[in-house]
Structure 1
Amino acid sequence: MKKLIPLLILLFLFTGCSTDDQNGGHSVTINLSVSDEVKASFESDGRLYVFLNQNLQVEPMDQIWPYPGRMSQIFAINRTGISPDGNITLEPNDDWTKTADWTFANVPEGQYNIQILWDQDKSESRINAPGNLYSEKQKITITNSTEVDVTIDRAIAERELAESELLHLVDFKSDTLSAWWEKPVHLKASVLLPANYDASESYPIRYNVAGYGGRYTRVNNLVNSSDFIDWWRSDEAPRVINVFLDGEGPFGDSYQMDSENSGPYGHALIYELIPHIESEYRGTDTATTRFVDGCSTGGWVSLGLQLYYPDHFNGVFSYSPDAIEFENYQLINIYEDENAFINEFGYERPVMRSTVGEPMISLRDFIAYENALGDSDTYLNSGGQFSAHTALYSPRGENGLPKPLFHPTTGEIDREVAEHWKKYDFKIYAEENWSTLGPKLQDKIYIWMGDMDQFYLNPATRAFSEFLESTDQPASDAEVVFTPMAGHCEQFSHKTVLMQIQERLREIEQ
């Protein structure tokens, strides 16, 4: 039997207020302890998360992205000087940042899975970082005032690549980023070689950018898929080196671009990481057979890399990109709208819908989740999507945080910050630089978008497509495909992109 060391005792005392009775709420007392197995790795400073989820089939701490029907309610608070041998009482009136509209003194009746995470990692931006400590999920039933014993006895494991002679890890120290941050900064990637790889040959190369926050270990899904790996080893598969870039950055996904807040990630990729990888594996450094692709965040990044570094890639395959111009930042016109949460008609602005158009979650609620995840109690360092966007597009603000486009709780838009975002508005950038940029993009751009994208990304892609259609000297030959009633990333697959690259290689050879 594990010996349990008292760590934290959270006492949430119910006062018998009639309002709580009328709302059917009850107090919950959580007695929290830490096991010997993780005591030695426990750090005294961190952020404590309590997750409650009424979907009993899911792991509560994995449901932090506010997807309707499975999202957890999050309660978070920063704590310092905690000892694994000590006790502390957190009262109901402590300053929790939370997503629920109720408190621990008034938990609605029902069945929940509860889970607790101690975020003590300082090296990664998201709470699923290796070394963070957590409890096993456990079911509780709230029908009256309840006391629950929870034990932190697990640590998030280090990431590992699957076993394959074709798969290799790249762990590269960036001099540029290390100098910028004044500490060692490493960039990671995974390299999947073609079957019958011969180090004496030179190869085309594909740089894949993940959907939001995707890590270099996502290649494991391909290597462990018999369908993909059997095809990859067959004569049908193109002989192309695949590089899976890592999405980690200081404020969430780095977006592989230069940022006033995260640092020169674009420079580090183009002038440090890519030359390193290609000197190790590729046998050539020509851009003629270098391609980039991705979906969602990867769709934005891949298109951005082709636009901002046009001489370094000879084709982009961008699927369902994040908003690529900001008159349509999802449903927000950042240059004209006054508020991100409320539209011009006075309604809550949705951030997600079904493919038949039903709104699924509001931007206000989405940001509430990111506010809970950030130890600033705002989305500015949540590690989530809007944290990363703000870090990339915004100027530096106070306390080392990016300056927000919109207020974390009111949604009011800062017009000065909106002007600053223009540097990564692809339509503005392409329009202002078309005379020199246009010739370098010929035969290089393929974009796919579903016309019922769940995140309202199609209006921005439409606007960008209309700009491309209006160009001359040269007239753009970009291929932008819209599929009616299709949703987010619906047609993206690694096989599809690899065959598109194969076709592009045939065109180059002609």
Structure 2
Amino acid sequence: MKSKLLLSGIVLFIALSNIYSQKQNFPFSANLKVSEEIKGQFIENGRLYLFLSKNANAEPRTQTWPSPTNKTYIFAKNMEGYQPDGILEIQNDKSWISTATWTLDQVPAGEYYVQILWDQDLNESRIDAPGNLISETQRIVINKPTKVDLFLNQSIAKREIKSHDLAKVVDIKSEILSAWWNKPIQLKASVLLPHGYDNNKAYAIRYNVAGYGGRYTRINYMLNSENFMNWWDSAEAPQVITVFLDGEGPFGDSYQMDSENSGPYGEALIKEFIPYIESKYRGTDESKTRFVDGCSTGGWVSLGLQLYYPDFFNGVYSYSPDAIEFENYQLINIYKDENAFVNEYGYSRPVMRSTNGEPMLSLKEFIQYENVLGASNSYLNSGGQFSAHTALYSPKGENDLPQHLFDPMTGIIDSVVAEHWKKYDFKIHAQKNWQELGPKIQGKIFIWMGDMDNFYLNPATRTFADFLEETENPKSDAEIVFSPMEGHCSEYSHKVVLEKIQQRVNNMETK
């Protein structure tokens, strides 16, 4: 009996010790040096990021998307006059803003992967910009006060696309945007030509818009897919040119639309970029064989381009679009609600869920990630989703930043700014302009949405669909499909969209 009691006591002691050690917190600090080989690339003003990640399978600096499974903690602060010749001591102080609920003096015990990023790029809105400086990832175990040496010794490489006879890059200076910004602004895209491409032939063309922040280099996913390329480079594949538009803009994704903060991206696309691409590759500028598609952000942008430039495109394939009307801006009614973070019942408002309805992340947590990524210590210039939305929908504010719809710390909604957002509320736009718009978009609208969209985007699409059902003169013939128990972009397929476009072209040719 005594031996059993002794054994039980030992087991209990070990268990309590493990629990105690797991709850312990220790100070973390580091000595940061800039390696000799990159000192010549170093710019003294920038934003310093420290990443402490639990994920062993990815570089910590790439783990900036907030999610329940992303156990990466980000610390950031702006620095001016940082000299690369000395040693910078990284330790806890009040200048850091963080996604963590603890400070660098109180890091929970455990295994981490640590990395430093120095954001010195002035051309791109996100921290993965070529020319930003990074350290190698270092594994550490925090079970006591810990200090490590870190070295900024790498530069993020330039973007490139895989070499292929059917793949091209377009990179031009936009005179429209350059005049607006008073500095050179480039527009980029990649082009995937069809099998047997003949530059003397006229082709249908598809403008693909990426999910949030997708770059023109996403063509590499197709080029690296053996199954897709075997199909594409065959006689069975559609004879359609695909243009992968670039998602970069001054505040994150440009959304390819005119903005009081980002500038006339829509005008530049329609009047400059597309005419240039089509004069070089397409062999025609006929709008009847010009289409646009995308999912998520790409779903919103593609539908927006069709609605705001109805004569320019002859069909949209919009999957899981961002909120297309703002009585349902995800779960927020921006015209009536007082707070973005807390709903009318006093509960923290979720921004993400599983397909069985389980909330996974709150909007306040999501916004804090963007606050940390923004040089203003707010989401207004984070380069993230809400940064881009605010830049597109809001009027210009102070310090060359957009006016926020809701306070980045409290979530309180500015009703005056909300009124300004109506310009890009698709339901309001269609209602106001239906007499002229309706006939121009007949036969051109296809929208798909999962009824368990992971970001609560289906209510806005439902409301827009209900409006279209009630239209008269003309009665809308838009095809809007809701799939039960499907999540965000789960049925989106490049191959399916290309086949839909080819079928549409074939139908036009037989009429």
TM-score normalized with structure 2 length = 0.95
SS in 1 for 2:288: coil
CA contact (8 A) 2:188 2:246 kept: yes
Q: Report the equivalent of 1:359.
A: 359
Deviation at 1:22, TM superposition (A): 11
Deviation at 1:136, TM superposition (A): 1.2
Letter in 1 for 2:477: D
SS in 2 for 1:368: helix
Measure the CA separation in 1 of the matches of 2:135 and 2:300: 36
Q: Report the equivalent of 2:12.
A: none
Letter in 1 for 2:308: Y
SS in 1 for 2:51: strand
Q: Report the equivalent of 2:444.
A: 444
Residue-by-residue CA offset, 1:12-71 (whole Å, 9 max, x unaligned): xxxxxxxx9996211112111122221211111110000011222222111110021124
Measure the CA separation in 2 of the matches of 1:505 and 1:288: 9
Instruction: Answer yes or no: is 1:336 the counterpart of 2:346.
Output: no
Letter in 2 for 1:289: T
More helix as a share of residues: 2
Measure the CA separation in 2 of the matches of 1:462 and 1:31: 54
SS in 1 for 2:398: coil
Q: Report the equivalent of 1:264.
A: 264
Q: Report the equivalent of 2:8.
A: none
CA contact (8 A) 1:203 1:284 kept: yes
Task: Please show how residues 285-324 of structure 1 align to structure 2 within 5 Å.
Answer: 285-324=285-324
Instruction: Answer yes or no: is 1:370 the counterpart of 2:370.
Output: yes
Deviation at 1:224, TM superposition (A): 1.3
Note the aligned Cα RMSD (angstroms): 1.2
Letter in 2 for 1:475: K
Q: Report the equivalent of 1:229.
A: 229
Measure the CA separation in 1 of the matches of 2:69 and 2:310: 42
CA contact (8 A) 1:379 1:386 kept: yes
Instruction: Answer yes or no: is 1:430 the counterpart of 2:430.
Output: yes
SS in 2 for 1:150: strand
CA contact (8 A) 1:371 1:382 kept: yes
Q: Report the equivalent of 1:282.
A: 282
Q: Report the equivalent of 1:79.
A: 79
CA contact (8 A) 1:55 1:113 kept: yes
Q: Report the equivalent of 1:11.
A: none
Measure the CA separation in 2 of the matches of 1:215 and 1:201: 28
Measure the CA separation in 2 of the matches of 1:22 and 1:196: 62
Measure the CA separation in 2 of the matches of 1:377 and 1:218: 30
With 88-97 and 188-197 compared, the bigger mean Cα shift is at 88-97
Measure the CA separation in 2 of the matches of 1:71 and 1:490: 24
Q: Report the equivalent of 1:251.
A: 251
Q: Report the equivalent of 1:172.
A: 172
Q: Report the equivalent of 1:129.
A: 129
Measure the CA separation in 1 of the matches of 2:146 and 2:331: 43
Residue-by-residue CA offset, 1:457-481 (whole Å, 9 max, x unaligned): 0000000000010000000000000
Q: Report the equivalent of 2:208.
A: 208
Q: Report the equivalent of 2:405.
A: 405
CA contact (8 A) 2:231 2:237 kept: yes
CA contact (8 A) 1:352 1:359 kept: yes
Measure the CA separation in 2 of the matches of 1:485 and 1:90: 47
Measure the CA separation in 2 of the matches of 1:127 and 1:258: 24
Task: Please show how residues 41-190 of structure 1 align to structure 2 within 5 Å.
Answer: 41-89=41-89, 91-190=91-190
SS in 1 for 2:113: strand
Deviation at 1:144, TM superposition (A): 1.0
Task: Please show how residues 29-48 of structure 1 align to structure 2 within 5 Å.
Answer: 29-48=29-48
Residue-by-residue CA offset, 1:270-306 (whole Å, 9 max, x unaligned): 0100000000011110101000000000000000000
CA contact (8 A) 2:91 2:104 kept: no
Letter in 1 for 2:414: D
CA contact (8 A) 1:61 1:115 kept: yes
Measure the CA separation in 1 of the matches of 2:274 and 2:248: 17
SS in 1 for 2:365: helix
Unaligned runs of 5+ in 1: 1-19
SS in 1 for 2:400: coil
CA contact (8 A) 1:58 1:70 kept: no
Measure the CA separation in 2 of the matches of 1:406 and 1:111: 36
Q: Report the equivalent of 1:239.
A: 239
CA contact (8 A) 1:210 1:244 kept: yes
Q: Report the equivalent of 1:468.
A: 468
SS in 1 for 2:312: coil
Measure the CA separation in 1 of the matches of 2:381 and 2:22: 37
Measure the CA separation in 2 of the matches of 1:452 and 1:45: 44
Q: Report the equivalent of 1:7.
A: none
Residue-by-residue CA offset, 1:153-176 (whole Å, 9 max, x unaligned): 111000011111111110011111
Deviation at 1:94, TM superposition (A): 2.9
Measure the CA separation in 1 of the matches of 2:442 and 2:28: 63
> When the two structures are aligned, how many residues end up with a matched partner?
491
Report the CA distance shift for 1:438/1:143 in structure 2 as closer, same or farther (over 3 A). same
Deviation at 1:89, TM superposition (A): 4.1
Q: Report the equivalent of 1:414.
A: 414
Residue-by-residue CA offset, 1:344-382 (whole Å, 9 max, x unaligned): 110000000000011111000000000000000000000
Measure the CA separation in 1 of the matches of 2:231 and 2:58: 33
Letter in 1 for 2:446: Y
CA contact (8 A) 2:31 2:90 kept: no
Unaligned runs of 5+ in 2: 1-19
Measure the CA separation in 2 of the matches of 1:102 and 1:430: 47
Q: Report the equivalent of 2:7.
A: none
Q: Report the equivalent of 2:25.
A: 25
Measure the CA separation in 2 of the matches of 1:90 and 1:27: 11
Measure the CA separation in 1 of the matches of 2:189 and 2:506: 27
Measure the CA separation in 2 of the matches of 1:345 and 1:225: 48
TM-score normalized with structure 1 length = 0.95
Report the CA distance shift for 1:139/1:91 in structure 2 as closer, same or farther (over 3 A). closer
Report the CA distance shift for 1:361/1:184 in structure 2 as closer, same or farther (over 3 A). same
CA contact (8 A) 1:65 1:71 kept: no
